[in-house]
Amino acid sequence: MTNIYVYADSLNLKVHNTKLLECTLLMFINLHANFFLFFFLYFFFFLFLYKDVVLFFLFHFISFFFFFFLFPIFSQTFLFWSV
């Protein structure tokens, strides 16, 4: 019997007829790519547009909520099954 691991993210859907380790590595790479992309966007957006302290804390709270609550839901980075 063959294990099929389905790895899903926001861009594509891949079916891997392979070991769980490879699927975990792909999930790890995708998670860090999403994190660094959002981190740099957040950093440059604040650096060039917002220099006021009040707006910084407001935008920081919105970014924290988006990254830790909404972003994993929409990107489905952690979604994979074993059939």
* pLDDT score, position 81: 44
Summarize pLDDT for 23-78 with one digit per residue, the tens.
555 666 666 566 666 666 666 666 666 566 666 666 767 776 666 665 555 555 54
Answer yes or no: pTM beyond 0.95.
no
pLDDT value at residue 71 = 58
Q: Are 8 and 45 in contact (CB under 8 A)?
A: no
Q: Is the pLDDT confidence value at 14 over 60?
A: no
Please give the average per-residue pLDDT across 12-27, as a whole number.
54
DSSP assignment, residue 18? S
Task: Enumerate residues 6+ apart whose C-beta is below 8 A from 41.
Answer: none
Q: Is the pLDDT of residue 19 over 50?
A: yes
